């Protein structure tokens, strides 16, 4: 039986603490405006608006970190360990998830793009292995 999703790769994805009020207050490099744009706002949100809007996106708030089910789809999570937008502890809930690989790339920032030439082929191979 095929699932709707057979495997997933998240590179630089936000999970839980990245949506906290403290994390929202530390966003820079235009990220508040980018997040506001994704909410279809006409202007960059104030810090209070940003913090209120971001809280609902936490996978914990949505109840998605509480029960993985008996056989969760394989998941690869990759990010830089020096990500300026996502707190280092954000991936911690995934460490106990079955069928999951968490890879924090040393000395890399958001999405570990400094190491893209390494990350992308490795991620594609991981995905191929899961779908074989």
Residue 26's pLDDT band (cuts 50, 70, 90): confident
pTM given for the model: 0.86
CA atoms within 13 A on the CB side of 61: 14
41-69 per-position pLDDT tens digit: 888 888 898 888 888 899 999 998 888 88
pLDDT reported for residue 36: 84
pLDDT reported for residue 3: 66
4-13 per-position pLDDT tens digit: 889 999 999 9
Over residues 116-128, the mean pLDDT reads: 96
From CA 100, how far away is CA 93, in angstroms rounded? 11
Checking if the pLDDT of 1 tops 60, the result is no
Q: How many CB atoms lie within 10 A of CB 113?
A: 15
From CA 110, how far away is CA 108, in angstroms rounded? 7
Q: Minimal CA–CA distance to 130: which of 91, 75, 78?
A: 75
CA angle 48, 15, 119 (to 5 degrees): 125
Q: Is the dihedral of CA 77, 80, 84, 88 positive or negative?
A: positive
CATH topology classification for 1-14+71-132: Rossmann fold (3.40.50)
Place of tokens 């104030």: 46
């Amino acid at each position: 039986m095929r699932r709707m999703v057979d495997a997933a790769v998240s590179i630089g994805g936000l999970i839980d603490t990245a949506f906290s009020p403290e994390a929202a207050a530390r966003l820079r490099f235009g990220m508040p405006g980018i997040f506001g744009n994704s909410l279809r706002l006409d202007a960059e949100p104030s810090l209070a608006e940003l913090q209120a809007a971001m809280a609902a996106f936490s996978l914990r708030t949505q109840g998605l970190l509480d029960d993985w089910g008996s056989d969760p789809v394989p998941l690869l999570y990759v990010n830089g360990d020096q990500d300026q937008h996502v707190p280092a502890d954000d991936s911690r809930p995934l460490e106990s998830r079955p069928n999951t690989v968490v890879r924090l790339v040393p000395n890399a920032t958001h999405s570990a793009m400094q190491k893209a030439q390494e990350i992308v082929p490795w991620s594609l191979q991981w995905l191929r292995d899961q779908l074989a």
